[in-house]
Amino acid sequence: MTVLILRLVTVLSALLCHVLAAPYSNPIARGTVYDPFITFSEGYYYFLSTGYDLRVTRARTLDGLKTGQTKVIFPDSGVVFETPKLHKIDGTWWLYFTAPNPDPSGNPPVTIFVLKGGPTPRDPFTYAAQLINATAASHPTILRLPNSPTPHLLFACPRILSLPSLCITPLLSPTTPGPIAILASANATWERRQTGGFFLPTSLTSPSVLANPATNQTFITYSTGNSPELSSNPITLLTHNGGNPVDERSWVKTGPYHLGAYTTSAGSDGTVCGGGMVKFFTSPDGKEVWSVYLAGEDESDKCGRGGDWHLGVKRVRFGEEGGMPEFGGTAERGEWFPGPGGE
């Protein structure tokens, strides 16, 4: 009798979890949501994007971010806080972002700054440091490798031999970078724009880190190209081979990859483009990786050229052989999908 009861409890628990699983539909947000970033911590999703002040929206579920609680964590300072990213280091949240040099005549003209927060992403933030002084820098994010205590800062850096590049530096502390190294340059054919028979340098943006939860493989992605059509800006993948993370020989470059078109569910023949400014976050249960990306708002605007954007999310799958991420596929706007595991 006891065994039967235990079995019934197990079945009912599984059914209850299935019923309570929170679905979501795209878009999660729309409008001025440039450089979107989502992370999950201690029961909440946190979302922020570029703006004149720094606002964090939180919610218990992914779909809940549409109507979540928004709080200003750093006030309007007269500059645009671009490409903001939240990262927790040694129990404290730090916010890395791109902004113009406070000195208009200073060099570099655009660089990376960091704010110090508290034990949660909604605590007030205070100015901590200008992180990179010797060179122009943008699009910061943090790289963490399994079994490595040292976080590394990744960022887009000036053109090396006329090519946009990805730089890396170990963080001696959250506000102190070490020596800067070039990790990759946009030298592949798909990373350059063809004009008049010549392949010209374009741009390198949105470096982001993802890891295969099943194999602990670490990857870096970034986008290249300066096309206003997001789907024309391919994604490059760097796969870590186990070597020194600041050595470019420790990363294997492959590409191009695309997230695919983002189509309407209303039966329209028009499509809008997806795949711009891709970031990644881990599901609450730590077993899934999800992508965050921008797409054009409607068919007339196509790929966001008019400045109307929406934020899309979808799960990233990994291949059974080799464990490589698979970015392909489409996400229907307005269609409901199962939410991340652990909600």
**Section 57-66 average pLDDT:** 97
Residue with tokens 């599901």: 283
CB atoms inside a 10 Å sphere around CB 165: 19
Looking at residue 190, the DSSP 8-state letter turns out to be G
Lowest pLDDT segment from 95-99, 152-156, 230-234 = 230-234
pLDDT at 300 over 80: no
Torsion of CA 130, 224, 281, 133, to 10 degrees: -10
Predicted structure pTM score: 0.86
Considering only residues 197 and 217, tell me which one the structure prediction assigns the higher pLDDT: 217
Strands 325-326 and 309-318 come out as: antiparallel
pLDDT at 100 over 90: no
Distances (CA, A) of 186 to 33, 137, 193, 195, 330: 26, 16, 11, 16, 26
As given in the structure block, the two tokens for residue 21 are: 């699983």
What is the H or E stretch that residue 2 is in? helix 2-20
Distance CA 31, CA 296 (A): 10
pLDDT at 6 over 70: no
The confidence score (pLDDT) of residue 205 equals: 87
> Helix or strand or coil: residue 315?
strand
The confidence score (pLDDT) of residue 276 equals: 64
Distance CA 226, CA 222 (A): 13
Lowest pLDDT segment from 36-45, 133-142, 210-219 = 133-142
Torsion of CA 42, 45, 48, 49, to 10 degrees: 130
Distance CA 224, CA 273 (A): 16
pLDDT at 267 over 60: no
**Section 221-241 average pLDDT:** 74
The confidence score (pLDDT) of residue 148 equals: 87
Strands 37-41 and 44-48 come out as: antiparallel
Average pLDDT over the chain reads 82
Burial class (CB in 10 A: 0-12, 13-18, 19+), 134: exposed
Considering only residues 201 and 28, tell me which one the structure prediction assigns the higher pLDDT: 28
Considering only residues 299 and 267, tell me which one the structure prediction assigns the higher pLDDT: 299
The confidence score (pLDDT) of residue 15 equals: 37
Q: Would you say 143 and 209 are in contact if contact means Cβ atoms under 8 Å apart?
A: yes
Torsion of CA 218, 149, 288, 213, to 10 degrees: 60
